[in-house]
Amino acid sequence: MQDPRPFTYQEAQNLWARLVAGWAHTLDNDGARSLMDGYPNRADVGGSYEGVTRMLWGLGGWLSQPQRNPLVQWRGVSYDVEALTLRAVINGCNPDSPSFWGVDYHHGRDHDQRTVETGQVAFALWQSRSRVWDQMNEAERTHVYDWLERWGRRPAKWQSNWALFWVVNHACRKALGMPYDQAIIDDVMTNYLNGVYCGDGWYDDAAVRGASYFDDYNTWVFASHVLAWAQVDGHTMPQRRDELLERVRQWMVNYPYFFAADGAYCEFGRSLAYKFARLGAPLWAYKMGAWPHSTGMLRRLVGRHLRWYADRGAIRADGTLRQSLTAGGSVEICEPYISTGATYWAMQAFGGLWSLPDDDPFWSAEEEPLPAEAGDYIKVFPQPGWVVTATNGEVQRFNAGSVKYPVKYNKLVYSTLHPFNVGLSGGFPAPDSSLCLFDGEMRGERTKNRAYAVGEPGWLRIEWEQTLNGYTHVIDTVIVTRGAYHVRAHRLTLDPNCPHHPVVMEGSAPCGYIQGEMPHVVRGDDWLAAATMRGATGIRGLAGYNGAHLWSGDTGINSVYPFSVTPVLSANLTQPQHELLCLVYAGGVAEPDALLGHNISGEWQADGSFHLTWDGETLVVPPSQ
């Protein structure tokens, strides 16, 4: 159950004070690097500079209001946010400091991870200019400029969302009176962004649109950094500013539909270690007049989403941020570029929150329901190839179009109630929400898409490949959604050069559970379900399968829970082309035989279309284009 209390300024301030205190106690003697528990990478050498540069999202927001007290108190101890920020930037940019942020690990490269960090460092200095920048002497300002310039030199070409880090760097230098390159700002904000824009607020995170790289970077870089630029430099290009803010507004029209009634987000994609960073963009959008919903809905969204993470241990008892999503979730939610301090990208949430005045209407607006609270829905998003559904307050994201990193993009569906298995088991991705082929000890997954489409009232079609042991098998998949249930139909065409036929494993969503729990498992000849007090998952074979069993795999692989089990179907293929049909359930606790209460049949047509009849209703899914 979600906490029914409205989100208050005092609650936000208490959480912020806890985070500031935890962070401050990790700092080295120069206050420019953090020393945290976790799994370190190269950016942790000498202490994590990212643990400080990324905290500046929140520190800059706090100091952006000139009248706000710089002292933050937690458990009777005061922390001077202004002094901490000034010390961090001065020592971090000073080449003579032991904690200097500029050690060159990639000699000769024109940019590296520090390029990412320059954006929020420059933005924080602009936000707090009267309290930090204006307090620096000329030598200190020169060090800041030298650092921003070294990691803000123009690359050969724009490759991804990274282009916006250069923009915020140069736009803030411009606003603070430092040398800058206007051509970088103009090129990225016009040519690059137009080249990757796909309509309705969606950006393809690539060099040019067409790669189908859609994920949270649409929010915590494309939206957040456009909004940062609009605040700093938008007045110099008012027409372009308004065009880009309209794109943000269009994205925010969609955004609340990805959150469950309790504030859980339908986790999907990479960099999920950034957690509630996704709140920064809607808060800045609200500040800039680009939030298209009520203020009361935003207040509820922010409060419930922060609570969801805090209540599940995303913040350690000492006030520092974990790399995992929750206390029990797998650390494999991280990528190799996630250092111990990288998670502080999450401070975008407080950067947006504290950019609002203390008396802003946000804090007093009567909270209004999130879409998932107001009722069930099906939302079809053609650009990323997603169908997003809500049933009884929980959200599922069905994924046809996005294929990038394994596991984090390749599953067929992602859920708030039944979060996906992110870790490897036996060296291979888990089979939850997937169709996997087995060849000996090798287990495959979706390798690439050939074509995809989504449509009303909630269907997906994917023609995709699964490469295993050097052989490429082609799979045509149709998914039709209906509340907590969905039907999957597959037509497999095996590689004719493969000397033997692989085995199929088809998984429902995982059923996650915590310490001391024992999932309740029920089964029949061709179906299997697992349930806890929170919800149930299950799968029923309708055609083409010859077995059902419970898959557990390794412990510690679920993105949210310490343990999970997955109901799966299996099939031994005997034909070069094999057709499969199954019914999948993922929702609240259902009756043990709920999977049996449906009459379903499907047929592939000669024209390539698929006809599904479900409890007397027939739906025609058109052929792949």
From CA 440, how far away is CA 454, in angstroms rounded? Answer: 34
Answer yes or no: are the C-beta atoms of 299 and 362 closer than 8 Å: yes
Question: 400-423, pLDDT tens digit by residue?
Answer: 998 877 789 999 999 999 999 999
| pLDDT, position 574 | 67
| Cα distance between residue 431 and residue 435, in whole Å | 7
- Amino acid identity of residue 491, one-letter, is R
Query: Who contacts 560 (Cβ-Cβ below 8 Å, separation ≥6)?
Result: 267, 312, 325, 326, 328, 329, 419, 512
539 neighbors 584 (Cβ within 8 angstroms):
yes
CA distance 452 to 464: 8
Whether a cis peptide bond, with omega within 30° of 0, leads into 457 is yes
For residues 226-263, one letter each, b for 16 or more C-beta atoms within 10 angstroms of the residue's C-beta and e for the rest, the string is: bbbbbbbbbeebeebbeebbebbbebbebbbbbbbbbb
Q: What's the pLDDT score for residue 4?
A: 84
Dig out the tokens for 470 from the structure.
Answer: 């050097």
To the question of pTM greater than 0.75 for the whole model, the response is yes
Which percentage of the chain shows pLDDT scores above 90? Answer: 91
Residue closest to 515 by CA, chosen among 327, 331, 332? 327
| Both structure tokens of 364 | 């007093």
Note the pLDDT tens digit of each residue in 545-555.
999 999 999 99
Question: pLDDT class for 309, splitting at 50, 70, 90?
Answer: very high
106 confidence band (pLDDT: 50, 70, 90): low
Q: Which residues contact 358 (CB under 8 A, 6 or more apart)?
A: 9, 65, 68
Computed over every residue of the chain, the mean pLDDT equals 95
Single-letter code of the amino acid located at 531: A
Res. 149: pLDDT tops 90: yes
Taking residues 170-174, what's their average pLDDT?
Answer: 98
Which DSSP state fits 420?
Answer: P
Is 359 strand, coil or helix?
coil
Please state the φ and ψ torsions of residue 532, each to the nearest 5 degrees: -125, -175
Spatial separation of the C-alpha atoms in residues 109 and 99, rounded to whole Å: 21
Task: Give the chain's domains with CATH numbers.
Answer: 9-153+264-373 (no CATH), 376-621 (2.70.98.70)
So what's the pLDDT on residue 283? 98
- pLDDT tens readout for residues 429-454: 999 999 999 887 888 889 999 999 99
Q: In terms of pLDDT, which residue wins out, 607 or 406?
A: 607
Alpha-carbon span 217 to 404, nearest angstrom: 13
Q: 374 exposed, middle or buried (CB, 10 Å; 0-12, 13-18, 19+)?
A: middle
Q: Say which residue the tokens 């047929």 belong to.
A: 603
SS3 annotation, 12-57? HHHHHHHHHHHHHCCECCCCCCECCCCCCCHHHCCCECHHHHCCHH
Q: HSE on the CB side for 422, CA within 13 Å?
A: 29
Q: What is the spatial order of strands in the sheet that 536-543 belongs to? A: 448-455, 459-468, 471-482, 485-493, 577-587, 536-543, 527-531, 520-523
Specify the pLDDT at position 304. Answer: 98
Q: How confident is residue 105, by pLDDT bands cut at 50, 70 and 90?
A: low
Residues of the chain with pLDDT > 70, as a percent, come to: 98
